[in-house]
Structure formats: C-alpha cells, structure tokens
Amino acid sequence: MKFSKSWLCEWVNFSNSASELAKRITMAGLEVDNIYSISRRFTGVKIGYILQCYTHPNTEKLKITQVNVGTGELLNIVCSASNCRAGIKIPVAIVGSVLPCNVKIRQIKVCGQISNGMLCSFSDLGININNENENSIIELEEEAQVGTDFYTFLNFHDVIFDLNLTPNRGDCFSIRGIAREIAALTQTKIMEPDFKIVKPNIKDTIPIELQVPEVCPRYFSRIIKNINIKAKTPFWIREKLRRCGMQSTNLVLDINNYVLLEQGQPIQAFDLSKIVGRIIIRNANKNDRFKSADGNDIMLNIDTVVVADEDKILSIAGILGSQSSSVNTHTKSILLESAFFSPDYISGHARHYGILTDASSRFERGVDYNLQLKAIERATQLLIDISGGDVSTVVSIESKCNYPKQKRIKFHRFKLDRILGYHIPDLDVLMILKHLGFLVKKEESDWLVTVPTWRFDITIEQDLVEEIARIYGYDNMPNQFPLLNIEVNNTKKRDQSVIKKIRSFLVSRGYHEAITYSFVKPEQQELFFPDIRPFILPYPISSDMSAMRLGLIQGLLNAVSYNQKRQQPYVRLFEYGRTFIPCKSSENNIQQELMLACVISGTRNLKHWSIPVQEVDFFDLKGDLESILELSNNNKAYKFKAEKHPAFHPGQSAAIFLEEEKVGIIGTIHPKLESELDLYGRTFAFEIRSSTIDTSIIPTFLEISKYPSNRRDISIIVDENITFDSIIRSCFELGGTFLKDAKLFDLYVGNGIKKGKKSLAIALMFQSTVCTLTEQDISKLVKKILIHISKKFGASLRD
C-alpha cells in the first residue's frame, strides 16, 4: 500500500517529519518498506498560459508559442509536443531553470527561431508515469494560477510511504484506514473531507435480485446517465493516483480507483446500455463462461458467485469485471455498484482462479460493511462535478442477518497486566481503544469491548492487548519478562536436538537442506503413491499445488531436476518436514508425520584434478543413511528388506525396519519416474520417520582390547533371496562377545555356482578383552557359526 504524506494530511493533522512518522508507524506494526520523494528536484519552473500557437516556418514538426508566465513579458518558446495548442495552462521552464540531471535551460535557436524556455512534459521533470503520453506537455487545470512556482503548486516536496501490510490488516488499505492509525498514534482527530451529496434528478432504476445473501449481504447500485466519458480526469486526481502507484486510464475508472484508495471500498461501473433486465447476484450455472475485460476466457465453477443480468454475466462478484459490460469511450450512461462480499468467499475463489485485483485484495481481507453507501455517494459526487450527468436514487438490497457478527470481547484488566508485564493506566487504555474506533463499556475492574466493523482481525482478548501495546508504544514499556507458568515439552526438545545433530551431520557430508512446498501436483504424486488418495485443497494456490504431500521425496526430486537443468553435476539435498497421510482415526482425518528424506545424484565428488570423476550409486546413499542411524547408537536394531515401491527401481529398493516396524524406504528412482521428472543420470533417495532416530541414547564405551585380533574368512553358498544382513545377525548371535566385526568382501554369481544360488565371502574378526584367543577357541566359534547358518539358511561351504 502506497500513500502520499500530502493526501494523508487532508485527513489528519500531525507535525511529525516523514522519517519520524515512518518510525512510529513501523513500531505500531505497519511496516514501512520505503520512503521516497515523488520527483527529482527541479527549480525555476513556472505555470504558464499559451496565448498563441502556430506552425514553425521552417518545419512542420515544430510549433512556436507565445507564453505568459506572469512576468509581464510574453515568452517565445519552440515546442514539438503534439498536444501543444493555444488556451491551455502548462509548466514552463524559463531561462535559468534547472531540471533533473542538472539540465540548465538557456536561450537557444531552434531551426532559426529563438526559444526562451521549454514547455515541460512529465519526462522532462523526471516524473515517471509509465504512460505513452509521458512526452506530451502537462496540461493543468483552469484553477492553476499563472506565474506560480510549479514545484510548490503540486507540492513536489511531498513524500511517498510504501507500507508492507500484513494480510490481517485489510482496514489499512486506504487513506481512511491509515489516517485512523495515525490519529490514534498522535492522539488527534480524523478530519474527514466533506462532500456534497448529489440529489437524484431521474427516476430510472434497475431491480436487484439477491440469491446468495450469505456471500453478498449488502448491495447498492445507482444509474448515472449522460456522462461525458471523454472528459479529462482532473490533474489533482491523476496526481494522487500516480503517487499511490496507479495510472490514469479513463474518467470513470480513475474515480473508482480514487474512491478505492480514499475509502477502501471497491466500486464497479457497468455500461448501462449493455445491461438487459434486472441485476441478479447468483451462483454461476453449469458451463458458464466468463470473458474478463483483458480478454481472458474462464470456465466458472458452479459455486462461483457472479453479478449478472438476464442475459449474461457482468462480473465475478468482488473480483473482476467482464468484457461484455465494461465502460469504453462510447459509454454514455453507467450503473455504479458498491457492495460487501464475504472475505472467506473472495479469498478462496480469487486464489482458485489465480486472479488478484485491487478489489479482491481488499474484499478477501475484509471491507467495512458500513462503507458501501458513502463510497457510492462519493463516486457520484466526483463524477457529476467533473463530467456532468443525471443521477438516479440509490437502489439497495440487504440481508442484515448475514452481516459479519460484530464481536464483543470481555477484556480483563489483570490479563492486560499479566501479558504485558507492565501496568498501563486505565485512562490510557480507554483513550487508545476510543481512538481506534472501539466502543468500551466499564464493568467493575474490566471492560466490555465492541470491535469496530472494519477490524476483522480482532477476535480475542490477546488481540486487544496487542492493540494497546502497539499504540502505547513498546519502547515506552520497560524491558522485563512477564511471570508465566511454562511447561517444558521434553519430547519437542528431544526432536529438535535430534534434527539439529542430523542437519549438522548431513551438511558435513556435502548435503544442502531444502524446504519444499507442502502442496504438490496430485497427478505427479500419484506416481509415488498410486493407492493413497491425498487430501485435496478446496481452494489451492494453483492447480499444480492442490494436494497435500504424502512424502518428501517428490519435492526433492523436483529440486534435483531444477538444479540439473542449471548445470549442477553434484546434487545432494535433504529435507526435514511434515507429511499428511489420510487417517480416519486422526484429528481432521489427517495424520501428520515428521519425516527425513535425502536424495543424491550426479558425481560422487566435486570436480578436482586429482580425483577421477565417478557417479554416485545406491551404496553411497545407503552409507549416509547407516551413518545417520549410527547417531542413535542403536543402528543394529534397523533392518533393510527388499521391497518394491512404485517410485523406485523394482530390483533396487528396500524397506527400512526398526525391529519389526516399517519406518522408511530407500532405493534407486524408477527409470520411468526419472523420465517423467526430467532427471538425467541415476538418482537415489530415502525417506525415514525422524521420530525413530533417537540420538539421546547414551553410547556404551568399551576399553580397547590389548589382546590381538584374529581374522577368519568363510565362503558360503546360499539361496539368492537370502540377505547378507540376516546372515550377519546370525553370526553375531553365535559369536557372542568375541565376534567384533563381520564384513562381506566378495559376492559371486556365475560359473561354478548353481542357478538360484550365490556365493558370499565373509571376513569374521575375533578378539577378547581378557585374554589371547587360541586357535582352538576361534575354530570352535567358526564351526558353531557355520553349523547354525547351515541349519537356518541351508548354507554350504564353497569348495
């Protein structure tokens, strides 16, 4: 939201400088992003009047003018602007003037004719209006006094405040709303500009039928006939719009935008000649299509509310006007609309269609439902004063039972003191609430507070505490901590400690943390979870972000694709976040799980002259996962079992089990999925429930044995479906405390090995902490292990 200090001063009287005001506004919770001047500095520019204008004798592209600038002497000035003509008032840079970029005006000859100055355009004065006419000379109003300094006349000393408003402060999207805040901060009164109500002089009206009062409980309309649509918008209106970041288009739209900025109430204008029959506020019919004023064709859902006549749709209610009813240069009569639309409805539908307009951005935050009549009267007055015309009475339809309920909050004195940790006197509390528009009734030591109709963000006592604190001034309260009873959540603290260790570990291994959206494309997610129906958002940000994610890997793979397309050969990403699994037994039918996921792709190392380029493989990722599980000091409780998954290669994926509970999945991404996501090269991923990794388990420390270790190698033949992990676990069961380690150092399938069998070569490492193991001791242990795995797995020694 942008506003100028000069416009604000028309509403509220304050003595603060721009920087002081910006600081106070920011401290009150309305963050000022920027303060800047409206134009670059220039001097010596006067308001002049063109008495004569004729074609240059030596070229048809130039004109010679006789200009009065109030000095008693007419100036001969050569001009090339197409709109240069006699009888208009313009800014004139006389000889000696200094324009932006230090351009000094001197007397010069132009094609043989002396020119004693320059007739100025916006671009000449360093004013950016983003308009095709910015090089035309500026035409001023008749009221402009010849000889007046132009810089002072238009108050170019003015500054612009650029506010970064939070979504809950819809009441501040207008000069009225900002003035209300400034008045409360400076303890002054709002000086609302007076305007004369236009008396109706025609009886024409259009009936209104309201079919959706829950969405539109208040609707006003008025006919204005015989307007001069080609009348030029007054310079003061155009300048106010420009300073607030809006460009002038035509008189009707300019006035609507002016009222929008001033009052905060959107106004819609329809071409009266294009309206058939009565106005109907209704839901869209099946297969209804809507063509916006900018030419976009939209298929409407049946729950979309539209403003229509008996023949066609005039607008998507509160969001966008249609091409078929828009005002154009041939318009002679209009129907003005001023309505209140439900914030919840507008928010959902504006986002569904991906449409953000000045009107929808205000309606979705909440517009004061008492503003509609005042706004339509203000727009009428401005339009009639400028263009003339005939005015009908205002036709209204209301459903008061569907108005937003005006909230009443019991405000306890002791809660205010307890939350702030500081006592603000009752009189100050009452004055602050009064200046902000709250109605306050004293009830013993407490208050009953009625929230004003423009404050949709105030719902509970704590909101009132915040209002008191921000207006009173946080810097006026001493720094002291309130006394609160705080219960420490040890589980949350433990989870934070776990992920902190995991983050640190993964970063040390070359991973980067990613934070992906919780909303994903449902068609893409179905490739990962074809048998689970996700929770679909009723009003998503976009159609590609309409499903709640069931896993983290999908988002990470999209991030891998993004990086690969930007020539990143070394990609290692991880994410810690929530997934949303449909579960009827959980709150809101959604079970939220905190998960950890990692993906790797590309080269094993960053490119280096001394290291050969190698591609990552499955075991690189598995090694990283096992290292993470080592942090729990309980890694032997985890098992990997081969398991197929739609997202992974059928022969290169495994489920992760903790004891007998499945807690995750790891594998190589399926080639079809790699193609679907535009991944090149092999990509590997795992996802595991983070709550199963408990780094709080205290590790057991053993004394390093001073006795020698002994290695024995065994080579066995087993069925192909028997995992090495299950064999190793059996070895440790039989080896007792003497078996310190067991490693697979060879895997062979082929000649000499029967089909369906495989050969495993295992190195067993034995050691005692109390004595030197003899050959006989070791042989007994090896024999015991071989007998056990022979019985359990059908293993046989390889010749």
337 is in an annotated binding site: no
pLDDT at 562: 94
Q: Do 622 and 523 share a structural domain?
A: yes
Q: Quick one: 48 and 88 in the same domain? A: yes
Place of tokens 């009150």: 28
Beta-bridged to residue 640, according to DSSP, are 656
Which residues, including other chains, have CB under 8 Å from residue 638's CB and lie 6 or more apart?
A: 629, 656, 657, 658
Rounded alpha-carbon distances, angstroms, from residue 263 to 106, 175, 241, 258, 356:
46, 7, 13, 8, 20
The beta strands (E) that lie in 108-243 are given as 108-110, 113-115, 117-119, 159-164, 208-210, 218-225
Q: Determine which helix (DSSP H) or strand (DSSP E) holds 576, and give its type and residue range.
A: strand 570-582
Q: Is residue 100 part of a domain?
A: yes
Rounded distance, CA 479 to CA 393, Å?
Answer: 58
Give Cβ neighbours of residue 72 (< 8 Å, ≥ 6 apart): none
User: What pLDDT is recorded for position 728?
Assistant: 86
Give residue 721's pLDDT.
86
Contact 260, 2 (CB under 8 A): no
Residue 224 to residue 250: CA distance in whole angstroms: 16
Cα angle 191-194-198, degrees, rounded to a multiple of 5: 160
Q: What's the confidence (pLDDT) of residue 441? A: 94
C-alpha–C-alpha distance, residues 414 and 437, integer Å: 23
Q: Are residues 290 and 219 in the same domain?
A: yes
CA end-to-end distance (rounded Å), the chain: 83
Task: Give a yes or no: residue 192 inside a domain.
Answer: no
Is there a single domain that holds both residue 261 and residue 241? yes
**142 annotated among ligand-binding-site residues:** no
Amino acid at 370: N
Decide if 698 is inside a domain: no
Query: Which range marks the domain in which residue 584 is found?
Result: 491-692
What are the DSSP calls for 108-135, one per residue?
A: EEETTEEE-EEE-BTGGGT----STTTT
pLDDT at 271: 94
Count of CB atoms within 10 A of residue 566's CB?
A: 7
Burial 41-52 (b: 16+ CB within 10 A, else e): ebebbbbbbbee
- Looking at the fold, whether 362 and 247 belong to one and the same domain comes out as yes
* AA identity, residue 601: S
Task: Please give the radius of gyration of the chain, using alpha carbons only, rounded to the nearest integer.
Answer: 38
**Those residues with Cβ within 8 angstroms of residue 377's Cβ, 6 or more apart along the chain or in another chain:** 195, 197, 198, 394
Residue 662, SS3 per DSSP: strand
Domain membership flag for residue 431: yes
Q: State whether 458 and 385 are in the same domain.
A: no
Kindly report, residue by residue over 173-200, the tens digit of the pLDDT.
999 999 999 999 988 889 988 889 999 9
And the tokens for 640?
A: 């990997």
DSSP state, 402? G
Same domain, 634 and 668: yes
Residue in the block written with tokens 């082929």: 750
Please list the residues that pair with 307 across neighbouring strands.
Answer: 281, 315
In a domain, 643, yes or no: yes
Query: How many distinct structural domains can be found in the chain?
Result: 6
Domain match, 141 and 165 both: no
Six-digit token string for 705:
């044995």
pLDDT (0 to 100) of residue 487: 58
Interatomic CA distance for residues 628 and 614, integer angstroms: 23
- Residues 33 and 170 reside in one and the same domain: yes
Give backbone dihedrals phi and psi of 606, rounded to 5 degrees, phi first: -65, 150
Q: Residue 545 has what DSSP assignment?
A: G
Whether 202 is in a domain gets the answer no
CATH number for 665: 3.30.930.10
Q: Where a domain ends, among 661, 692, 723?
A: 692
β-strands 408-411, 512-513: how paired?
unpaired
**Residues 531 and 674 grouped into a single domain:** yes
Contacts of 735 (CB under 8 A, 6+ apart): 742, 764, 766, 781, 785
Angle between helices 18-27 and 175-186 in degrees, nearest 10: 90
Based on the fold, state whether residues 52 and 10 are members of the same structural domain: no
**What pLDDT does residue 769 have?**
87
- Looking up residue 53, the CATH number of its domain turns out to be 2.40.50.140
Domain membership of residue 203 (yes or no) is no
Predicted local distance difference test score (pLDDT) of residue 131 = 59
Contacts of 684 (CB under 8 A, 6+ apart): 599, 600, 601, 616, 617, 618, 620, 621, 666, 667, 668, 669
Euclidean distance between CA atoms 656 and 744, whole angstroms: 20
Q: Check if the beta carbon of residue 199 is closer than 8 Å to that of residue 208.
A: no
700 part of a folded domain: no
> What's the one-letter identity of residue 338?
S
21: domain CATH number is 3.30.56.10
SS3 (DSSP) at 161: strand
Residue holding tokens 């639309």? 341
The answer to whether the beta carbons of residues 727 and 789 sit under 8 Å apart is yes
Q: Is 311 annotated as a binding residue?
A: no
The backbone torsions φ and ψ at residue 263, rounded to the nearest 5 degrees and listed phi first, read -100, -25
Tokens at residue 675, please? 């193609």
**Residues forming beta bridges with residue 520, ordered by sequence position:** 547
389 plus 282 within the same structural domain: yes
For residue 738, with 0-12 CB atoms within 10 Å meaning exposed, 13-18 middle and 19 or more buried, which class applies?
A: middle
Which two tokens mark 755? 């089909």
Tally of CB atoms within 10 A around 614: 10
207: which residues sit within 8 A by CB, 6+ positions away?
A: 278, 279, 395
Q: Taking a C-beta distance cutoff of 8 angstroms, is the pair 467, 432 a contact?
A: yes
- Label the pairing between strands 512-513 and 570-582: parallel
Mean pLDDT of residues grouped by 10 in the chain (799 residues)? 90 87 90 84 92 92 94 92 93 93 90 93 78 75 90 86 91 94 91 90 94 96 94 89 89 95 96 94 92 86 93 93 90 96 89 88 93 96 94 95 93 92 92 94 91 94 94 85 56 70 92 94 92 88 88 95 91 95 84 94 86 90 91 79 91 90 94 91 94 71 84 92 86 86 90 90 91 90 91 88
Q: What is the rounded CA–CA span in Å between residue 486 and residue 261? A: 45
Between CA 97 and CA 4 the distance in angstroms is 26
| pLDDT for the residue 491 | 54
466 annotated as a binding-site residue:
yes
| CA pair distance 754, 635, nearest whole angstrom | 34
Tell me which DSSP letter residue 770 carries. Answer: S
Tens digit of pLDDT for each residue in 428-447? 999 999 999 999 999 888 99
The residue from 626, 659, 692 where one domain ends is: 692
Tell how far CA 168 is from the center of its chain. Answer: 13
